[in-house]
Structure 1
């Protein structure tokens, strides 16, 4: 099952990519929302091999998510492998320079069930796909707008 969204940001591609590399900021954001995030790699710079363990509550149960950066092509693309109990997937961010001051940001989340219970979960997502896709696109649009505002303030 795939969710995707595309938004244009009024900022240069290198600035957008730099903002997307604020992994510590994303960790803090997840923690503010109740998740427990642990970085589990020895890397000192952003790149392939970065890994996180994320624990969060969903549907009344504690869930564990493994996240690994598997492709890092600055300033064009980042791809993360995602694994949880019974579900695996990829999350990709692709940037395309439209001009010197505009960047198209494309995000895609693709999940694949591995177990019967995960298949039932994904099937329930399929039934609500249109509303979930709208929410996904709305969150991406909100993030892009906030990113654009932050980058314009710092310019």
Structure 2
């Protein structure tokens, strides 16, 4: 299953990349939503070597996943891989400078089932594809606005 969207943000590419790679902020946000997050590595660890073990509830079942950074090319791209609970996923965030104060963010999410149970889950998600696409686009747009707000607070 594949999701993709693009958003333009009124901030320099370096600021956008800093927001995309603000891992502590994402960890805190996940914990507030009831996700158990265990980072393997600390702030002195190179970003490419960071991994996370996460446990969360989804559709009434506990899911365990391991997240790792596959590619980290500041300030252009960061790619995350997620494996576990019969699923594999890849989240890719590409940033492109449109001008010195404007950045285009392209976010791609690919989910691939590894087990029969995961295939059934993905199939049920495909039935709600339009709703999920809308939610995905909305969340990315909200994140782009958050990047802009951060930029205005700094300036």
Q: Same fold (TM over 0.5)?
A: yes
Q: Which runs of 5+ in 1 are unaligned?
A: none
TM-score normalized with structure 1 length: 0.95
Q: Which runs of 5+ in 2 are unaligned?
A: none
Distance in 2 of aligned mates of 1:47 and 1:36:
20
Distance in 2 of aligned mates of 1:25 and 1:2:
25
Aligned Cα root-mean-square deviation (Å)? 1.2
The aligned counterpart of 1:31 is 31
Q: Which runs of 4+ in 1 moved over 6 A?
A: none
Distance in 1 of aligned mates of 2:55 and 2:86:
15
Q: Indicate the SS of the match to 2:103.
A: strand
TM-score normalized with structure 2 length: 0.95
> Which aligned pairs between 1:116-127 and structure 2 lie closer than 5 A?
116-127=116-127
1:58 offset after TM fit, Å? 1.3
Aligned residue-pair number: 155
Distance in 1 of aligned mates of 2:59 and 2:36:
16
Q: What are the Cα deviations for residues 42-83 of structure 1, in whole angstroms up to 9, with x where unaligned? A: 661442121000111112221111100010000000001111
